[in-house]
Amino acid sequence: MPTSRPVAALEGALDVPAVVPGAVCHRGVTYVAREGYRPLLMDVHVPLGATAAPCVLWIHGGAWWSGDRREQPSNWRRPGVLFSLLVEAGLAVATVDYRLSREAAWPAQYEDVAEALRFLRAHADLLRVDPARVAAAGDSAGGHLAAMLALRGTGPTAVQAAALLYAVTDLRDFDVSATLSPEELLASPEGLLMGVLPDDDPDRWTDASPISHVHADAPPTLLITGDTDLVVPARQSVRMHEALVAAGAEDVVLDLVPGADHCFGGVDEEEPLRRTVAFLADRLRR
């Protein structure tokens, strides 16, 4: 069973210098420790003076096999730009580590980010975040995990909004997959995540794809991606938008960024990031 860090230990961990302007920054807080695995950490950046700030759980990308909570895409020109924009908008941001695919196969990653949500809500008073106003957001592989939270979360793991940045929504919908040998597919990011070939366990691959879980009660969701993304095809966001609308979801926005590649490469990333923050701020304050 996972164990969360005791509140007394958490209080000691919160007394750290700020790393996001205008925020009280709680760094390196253990949100879950599972026997046999490294402790998983989160950083929480809360606007100065806030007593119950709406909060965004940010899930990093990296093909499920790399990255950590402190990183943003290397092509983003302003360090920490997204965290700063969220804090400037009056939102707290909790950015989390999770087990990578060479550490554990699916659904370990989903279990970890769901546990992060439980931890946030359990310690909302101490962290000065509002447990009733929490969004999930992430980019690429992190967007996949944010989408799964948005569509499958219930009770303490439910979210009130989601922002999916060039997110993987269908694990089998990649242009390159058809050209790979079984050995190459198993060594791909999706194959390593799943630990099995899709033809050997199609139900497992389907269940791990957010597009298989769309429903009418999905929270307000933004799908934002470059229209020339060469890593995660823009059609993954387009089809996800279509599926959510067809299912009866009432608040789903598709934002295709002209000329942008993966991670908004080729354009000024701050513009789509500002639209993302504006969407989250609006939905979390309704």
Given the residues 97, 112, 170, 229, select the one marked as catalytic: 229
Q: Residue 119: which CATH number?
A: 3.40.50.1820
Domain count, the chain: 1
pLDDT at 18: 52
Given the residues 26, 45, 144, 262, select the one marked as catalytic: 262
Range of the domain at 202: 7-284
The reply to whether 2 falls in a domain is no
The reply to whether 228 falls in a domain is yes
The reply to whether 12 falls in a domain is yes
The reply to whether 87 falls in a domain is yes
Q: What is the pTM of this model?
A: 0.94
For residue 127, is it left (φ>0), alpha (ψ between -120 and 50) or beta? alpha
pLDDT at 25: 93
Active site residue 66: no
Q: For the chain, first and last CA: distance in Å?
A: 36
The reply to whether 217 falls in a domain is yes
Active site residue 229: yes
Active site residue 60: no
The reply to whether 123 falls in a domain is yes
Segment-wise mean pLDDT, segments of 10 residues, the chain, 286 residues: 39 51 94 96 96 97 96 91 97 98 97 98 97 98 98 97 98 86 95 96 97 98 98 97 98 98 98 98 96
Neighbouring-strand partners of residue 72 = none
What CA–CA distance (Å, rounded) separates 222 from 279?
7
Given the residues 140, 170, 209, 213, select the one marked as catalytic: 140
Cis ω for the linkage preceding 6 (within 30 of 0):
no
